[in-house]
A = this chain, B = another copy of it.
Amino acid sequence: MAVVVNLQNERKQRPSIAALTALAGDDLKQVNEVILQRMQSPVALIPQLAGHIIAAGGKRLRPLLTLASARMCGYEGRRHVALAACVEFIHTATLLHDDVVDESDLRRGLATANAVWGNKASVLVGDFLFSRAFQLMVEDGSLSVLAILSNASAVIAEGEVLQLMTANDTETTEHAYLEVIKAKTATLFAAACRVGAVVASRPKVEEEALDSYGLNLGIAFQIVDDVLDYAAHQATLGKSVGDDFRDGKITLPVVLSFLRGDETEREFWRRTLERLEQGDGDLEHAVVLMEKHGSLRDSIERAKHYGAVARDALGVFPDSPEKRALLELVDFAISRSH
């Protein structure tokens, strides 16, 4: 109990997403309304399944990025609301297909849609949400926004295929790992931010600054996520710890541990992650090896580097509450890890 109290006291000083959520609160409520309204369909399974994953919530990080970016750029209209919803639809469609591909049972502490309704429904409802996202963009009517998000979608799909091909390969380089997380995670962060500058009709330099902020924030965010898969408690993270290990995913902590390990250790990684021959105590041993080589700590160091780049990218913008919230978000992304 003492630990819980300490955490709560500490929370006030720790970087959090609270400032961002507070600033964008009203807009975010409207985003949620658009999401709820536009995931409807006479085909009952669609709102049921979509509602399950969308209501399960998460932090609505990507729509928040669009909302805050638009406001930071001085935008005073309402277009950013539908576009933020559209970003969340693309994200949700990706999650649905991702869970099918990863054969996941649990996401954010809840049963995945594919675990409840089966893979087929998840594939098809993902397709529906993806199409719906494009309908929302067409209604908005900006070809620039359509270009940004259709490009992002193609890159995301490419990244997913790349990950599939390099899966379970312990010789994956740090570079290859980065290419995958850039495509799978960071590209949509970048696009979500960039859309904010576009609706505000800001010059290219600000579009690109927001793109860079989002891309680097996304990389930092994903690296920390991958660290948490070895370091967090299930209750905190809301996903099954050890999932990546069980799936044989080659994330940065593994890449570093493999490179820094001796032949016996490398054989351990090959057995557990390539051949997926895992037994009792293997996950614990993996964490021991990661601690021995400082792989979790150094992964966080890498994340901090990308966080620093993200922060500097915002240098072109004058001070504002939104800018401060976006800067704090970088700290939050990284500080989740400890």
List residues of chain A with CB under 8 Å of any chain B CB: 41-46, 97, 100-101, 119-121, 123-125, 127-128, 130-132, 134-135, 137-138, 141, 143, 146-147, 150-151, 153-154, 156-158, 160-162, 164-165
Is A161's CB under 8 angstroms from B45's CB? yes
Q: How many copies of this chain does the complex contain? A: 2
Q: Give the chain B neighbours of A161 by CB distance below 8 A.
A: 41, 43, 45-46, 121, 124-125, 128
Q: Which residues of B contact A151 (CB under 8 A)?
A: 135
Q: Check if A128 sits within 8 Å of B157, measured CB to CB.
A: yes
* Across-interface contacts of A100 in B (CB, < 8 A): 119-120, 123
- Indicate whether A46 sits within 8 Å of B128 (C-beta atoms), given known contacts A100-B123, A121-B164: no
Beta-carbon contact of B150 and A134 below 8 Å? yes
Across the A-B interface, the 3 shortest Cβ-Cβ residue pairs: A128-B157, A131-B153, A131-B154
Least CB distance, A126 to chain B, in whole angstroms = 8
With known contacts A130-B130, A150-B138, A158–B41 Cβ distance under 8 A: yes
Q: 6 new A-B pairs (CB below 8 Å) besides A41-B161, A135-B151?
A: A121-B161, A127-B130, A128-B161, A134-B150, A134-B153, A137-B146
Taken together as a complex, chains A and B put the C-alpha atoms of A44 and B165 apart, in Å, by: 9
